[in-house]
Amino acid sequence: MTFYNALEKHLIDFHVVTHKKGETIYRADEAPRSLYIIKDGLVGLFHISENGKETFLRVFGKTQILGHRSLLAYENYHANAVCLQDTEFYQISASEFNQLLEKDNSLLRSITESLAKDLRVSELRISDLNDKSSYLRVVESIVYLKNKYPDQVWTRQEIAEFAVCTNETVTRTLTKLEKMNLIQKQGRDFSLNNTEGLLNLTNEDF
Amino acid sequence: MTFYNALEKHLIDFHVVTHKKGETIYRADEAPRSLYIIKDGLVGLFHISENGKETFLRVFGKTQILGHRSLLAYENYHANAVCLQDTEFYQISASEFNQLLEKDNSLLRSITESLAKDLRVSELRISDLNDKSSYLRVVESIVYLKNKYPDQVWTRQEIAEFAVCTNETVTRTLTKLEKMNLIQKQGRDFSLNNTEGLLNLTNEDF
DNA sequence: CGATAGATTGAGAGTTTTCAACCGATGTGG
DNA sequence: CCACATCGGTTGAAAACTCTCAATCTATCG
């Protein structure tokens, strides 16, 4: 049972809201007032550090939920949620969400499962930063982002913020990968020729 | 309501197990069979990468729970849990845990709160790796580890694995901090003279 | 007291960022 | 539909940061 399956039957009750590409749904340090379920579109979660460096923490597509972490932690948001495309979503107020949790016991369990998986993913990213060269992190980032959302034209900057490096390092990596015939550039976009080959690369290949 | 408060009243029912310092409670890739609540002692969660680099992900002290992430994600463990001191804990089997969850509705809610907070902490560590020099990360790591567990003699290696750098970088940082009068070395141990001062340091101070 | 594990230090190498200049794609208004 | 402004991408060189490696030192424990 996924998060969305558990929620789906209730969604008819809630308002649909839309935001244009580039608009911010919520900002770090705000108190959470709602939960958002994406009906269609794409949203990124970005943290901006004191020195202004931006880190791309998570990406949310169709049927994914955002804002739940803060509500369930009883904390303010720790990052900014920004639309990467025009996006439609169902908005559920905190009190409506709490009513749903009481009405439906499986809902909390499936949200917890999702958070527990996100925690693994996040902790393994820390390990990757310890272990993998920036080139290799770019490779893994494009495999993740481009395979999951093939129609999105990811900018070098977005990939860099996801891989935790600079846009120049992303450019240099993509140039090398094209020479290796593992990707194909098309204007600002690109496509993956060989996901297996990309995932078999190691630190030594660069 | 914390995780431990919600569990505490049930603990009398469970076996107490002890492990010596250095012993492993569980390893990455194993299927979770139990939940562990620390009665007394200290446990670290470490991930070892393909290339053998170790990352210190979380530390668990008295009244803290471990093994819950994997059980709730329906996943195998993603890291190794190792005793940093002789440690006593209550061991709860997966099926006993599931019974507890059914018996006590507040339990899952408090575990979820804890996971949601851990996710923030982990994601902000990724941001720190993007933004902060290794010296500054060492500073923040020693403030966290030493203030939370003052009696533990943390090795340079453990601090390095927590801060995501090398033991040499930890040594160099500690030497500088002692010259700045912010810490005091005592044999292999050290103590913090001025937590405020340490936390006010920036990338530019090194 | 000796053995061992951990800490320190310096020099050199490697990786990644920074900065600057230039190039090319995209899309908008005339 | 073209011209052009703008935004994003590319490239190279230099600087900065951190690690690696090796030698030496020191604390701790049996």
Numbered residues of chain B with Cβ closer than 8 Å to any chain A Cβ: 47, 49-51, 53, 55, 57-58, 68-70, 72-75, 78-79, 108-109, 111-113, 115-120, 122-132, 161, 164, 203
Contacts with A133 from chain B: Cβ below 8 Å = none
Q: Which of B2, B45, B124, B130 to mutate to test the interface with A (most CBs of A within 10 A)?
A: B130
- The pLDDT value given to residue B9: 84
Average pLDDT, chain A: 95
pLDDT tens digits, A17-51: 999 999 999 999 999 999 999 999 999 999 999 99
Give every CB contact of residue A60 below 8 A, 6+ residues apart in sequence: A38, A42, A43, A44, A45, A66, A81
pLDDT of residue A13 exceeding 80: no
The closest of B67, B65, B61 to B10, measured between CA atoms, is B65
Lowest mean pLDDT among A127-136, B6-15, B20-29: B6-15
CB neighbours (10 Å) of residue B7? Answer: 22
Whole-model pTM: value is 0.97
pLDDT of residue B7 exceeding 70: yes
Which domains does chain A carry? 3-128 (2.60.120.10), 132-205 (1.10.10.10)
pLDDT tens digits, A84-102: 999 999 999 999 999 999 9
- The pLDDT value given to residue B191: 97
Q: Say if residues B157 and B150 touch (Cβ distance below 8 Å).
A: no
Of B57, B115, B120, the CB nearest to A112: B115
| d(C-alpha B11, C-alpha B13), whole Å | 5
* Contact: B123, A47; criterion CB under 8 Å: yes
| d(C-alpha A47, C-alpha A72), whole Å | 19
